Amino acid sequence: MKCNKDGKTMKFIKGIKFNEYSIDGWKCSCGEIYYDPEQAQKVLLLNKLKKKC
């Protein structure tokens, strides 16, 4: 995957922190992070359900 900020190739990393959870994603040397969309969607849904309780 290429970074939209600087066009460099991003590294795939497992276990990036996202809202108290650890999910996979891509990280660039410039600091830009892209999370796995399926895993991020699950975390956002969990947060939404927690908010309703």
Predicted confidence at residue 47, as pLDDT, reads 92
Residue 52's pLDDT band (boundaries 50, 70, 90)?
Answer: confident
The sign one gets for the Cα dihedral 44, 19, 27, 39 is negative
Its pTM surpasses 0.85 = no
Backbone angles phi, psi at 44, to 5 degrees: -65, -40
Average pLDDT in the 25-50 region? 96
Predicted confidence at residue 51, as pLDDT, reads 87
| Residue 13, phi-psi category: left (phi > 0), alpha (psi -120 to 50), beta (remainder) | beta
Predicted confidence at residue 37, as pLDDT, reads 96
Q: What is the mean pLDDT of the chain?
A: 94
Strands 33-35 and 11-18: unpaired
Q: Between residues 24 and 50, which one has the greater pLDDT?
A: 24
